Structures are given as structure tokens and as C-alpha cells.
């Protein structure tokens, strides 16, 4: 049954093209909430691959987001970084700001347990980083850094910056954030990290984390790793084949190359940590205003089709782009 209330949502209608569509909302029941969106965030790497139709058929089921409508490659409603305010539902939630793993839509109905309250110290904009922060947390759990490590993070996109910032808070750890864009040096300094372009990056790292989403970045990561170090691959390449340089000294240095993906809680934590507990931690960490550094401008919901197309094109220095709703 529909409520008669209309919502608007962004859809990828075919690879390389998106539009805003209207739909009727279902009637909220006793176990659900009606949320009006305040802002949402574009997870640039993954959403660009979805926009371009580059999700491999073998990963269609794995890459579904919680409230996705449609199917890959298109038409599909995709996204997972929404901050809103509860308009109806349980009394303790009405009027509260919440985070939900929901696509770009101005009004939606979801089960109560799909939303989580934002701490007062977390702004609406910082709140949309929660899903990316979860990815960073899971990556560091998989990487298992140790006190005093020299850590190289290759790729200063949103996830790479979050990983670097969290790692830099560990006692005695020195983090070098590496990117081809020299403008990232200022951001690295704000996050408590050193910065280097690939050619000047420090070799013999104890741990290397790769987040650039580009095969050249993986080659850099492997080059920087010290003897018996781990290279953690957090990039997802969609349907693009990647030639990893596993010749030269890869075997002589006895390197470990392993993957990390946020869909499952990291092995070492899985027995005790639920997805919700991990998301709660992500929001708690976002209370630090330093993460405002990663918010790279905003645009209105009505412009979302053009905004996604622009962000999926030539890199322009954008980190997390905020979509505002009226």
C-alpha cells in the first residue's frame, strides 16, 4: 500500500546517464520511520563505476547496497550515504538526525533498525562520511598496524585520507600519504601525516595500504613495501583487469598482498563486532572536526545527474561531494 506521499530519487538509467525519478512512498508501519533527507554524499569511486556500468556481472549480488532498487547495470538506484531527520516513527526518534545506508532520495521509509542517530558533535556533512569511515576502520582492522610502524597510504581520496588520519593517531606511528596530486599535501598536514608524490615516497615501509583505484598506485605500493611487509589492497577496480607487478623483488622481499572489503567485518573482529557496532564507532570518530577537511563542496539535489557525470569524469581534486536537499 502507498501513502500518497511522493519522493524523488536519483537513478542511473543507462551507463553514463542518470535522472531524477518520482515514486509513491509506502505507508510507514509501527516498525518503520519516515525520513526527510538533509544531505547525502557521493562515494566517488564506487558510484562512478556504477554510473559507467562497470560493475562485473559476477559481482551484481555482492555489490547491491541495502536499499537499492533496480539491477545492474541499469536502471538502478544506488548510493549509501544519507543523513536525514525522522519525521514520523517511534517517539524517541521523531525529530532526530539519523544516518542511513540509503541512495540519493529526498524522502524515504525504512525499518527502524536501518537508521542510527547522529551524535550531537557530528555535523550533517560529516555524517555522510560514515560509510567511508566504516571502510577505513575495516581496512585498518585487516591491516593490523603495530605501534611505531612506518605506514604508507597510497591514494589520497576520501577513504585513503580517512585511513591515513586514523593510522596517524596510533602511538609512535609515522604515516606518509602518497598521491599524484600535490594539492593533497595541505590535507595530509591537517590530518597529521607527511605527504609525498609517488617518485619521492619513502621506501621500506612496515605496512602499505593502497586506496588509489589505479594500477599505477598498486605498483607504487608494492615498490614501497619493506621486507616481509603487508600490502593491503583496498581499491576496487570494477571490470578493469589489473596487471600487478609481481616480478622483480616481490618474492625475494616475501611480501604479503591481501584484500580488504567492507561488506564483511574484518576477521579478527567478526566474533564480537556487528555491522551496527562498527557503524556506531564510525560516527563517534567523525565527531572530530578535522574531517571537515574531506568535504569538497556541495550542490543541490536537482543537479545530481550532471554532478555525478562530472565527478565520474576527469579527476578535479574533489573528495566527498555533498548533495543538499530542500
Query: Is the fold of 2-129+291-324 the same as that of 132-259?
Result: no
Ranges of each domain in the chain: 2-129+291-324, 132-259
pLDDT tens digits for 56-95? 999 999 999 999 999 999 999 999 999 999 999 999 999 9
For 132-259, CATH gives 3.40.50.720
Residue 187 has pLDDT above 90, yes or no: yes
pLDDT band, very low/low/confident/very high, at 316 (cuts 50, 70, 90): confident
Bridge partners, residue 154, by sequence = 178, 210
The CATH-assigned architecture of domain 2-129+291-324 is Alpha-Beta Complex (3.90)
pLDDT tens digits for 253-303? 999 999 999 999 999 999 999 999 999 999 999 999 999 999 988 999 999
pLDDT tens digits for 188-225? 999 999 999 999 999 999 999 999 999 999 999 999 99
Q: Backbone dihedral region of 265: left (phi > 0), alpha (psi from -120 to 50 degrees) or beta?
A: beta
Residue 104 has pLDDT above 70, yes or no: yes
Residue 141, CA distances (Å) to 4, 148, 259, 260 in order: 45, 16, 12, 9
Amino acid at each position: 500500500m502507498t501513502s500518497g506521499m511522493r519522493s524523488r530519487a536519483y537513478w542511473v538509467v543507462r551507463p553514463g546517464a542518470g535522472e531524477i525519478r518520482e515514486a509513491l512512498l509506502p505507508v510507514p508501519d509501527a516498525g518503520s520511520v519516515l525520513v526527510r533527507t538533509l544531505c547525502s554524499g557521493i562515494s566517488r569511486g564506487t558510484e562512478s563505476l556504477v554510473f559507467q556500468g562497470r560493475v562485473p556481472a559476477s559481482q551484481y549480488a555482492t555489490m547491491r547496497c541495502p536499499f537499492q532498487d533496480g539491477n545492474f547495470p541499469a536502471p538502478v538506484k544506488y548510493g549509501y550515504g544519507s543523513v536525514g531527520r525522522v519525521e514520523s516513527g517511534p517517539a524517541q526518534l521523531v525529530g532526530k538526525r539519523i544516518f542511513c545506508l540509503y541512495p540519493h532520495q529526498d524522502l524515504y521509509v525504512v525499518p527502524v533498525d536501518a537508521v542510527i542517530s547522529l551524535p550531537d558533535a557530528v555535523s550533517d556533512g560529516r555524517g555522510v562520511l560514515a560509510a567511508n569511515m566504516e571502510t577505513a576502520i575495516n581496512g585498518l582492522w585487516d591491516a593490523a598496524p603495530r605501534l611505531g610502524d612506518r605506514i604508507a597510504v597510497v591514494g589520497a581520496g576520501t577513504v585513503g585520507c580517512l585511513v591515513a588520519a586514523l593510522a596517524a593517531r596510533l602511538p609512535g606511528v609515522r604515516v606518509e600519504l602518497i598521491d599524484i596530486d600535490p594539492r593533497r599535501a595541505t590535507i595530509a598536514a591537517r590530518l597529521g601525516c607527511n605527504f609525498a608524490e609517488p617518485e619521492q615516497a619513502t621506501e621500506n615501509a612496515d605496512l602499505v595500504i593502497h586506496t588509489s583505484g589505479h594500477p599505477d598506485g598498486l605498483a607504487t605500493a608494492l615498490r614501497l613495501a619493506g621486507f616481509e611487509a603487508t600490502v593491503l589492497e583496498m581499491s576496487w577496480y570494477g571490470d578493469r583487469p589489473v596487471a600487478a607487478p609481481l616480478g622483480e623483488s616481490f618474492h625475494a622481499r616475501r611480501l604479503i598482498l591481501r584484500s580488504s572489503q567492507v561488506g564483511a567485518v574484518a576477521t579478527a573482529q567478526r566474533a564480537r563486532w556487528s555491522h551496527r557496532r562498527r557503524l556506531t564507532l564510525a560516527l563517534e570518530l567523525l565527531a572530530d572536526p578535522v574531517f571537515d577537511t574531506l568535504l569538497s563542496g556541495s550542490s543541490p539535489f536537482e543537479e545530481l545527474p550532471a554532478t555525478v557525470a562530472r565527478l565520474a569524469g576527469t579527476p578535479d581534486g574533489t573528495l566527498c561531494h555533498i548533495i543538499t536537499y530542500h
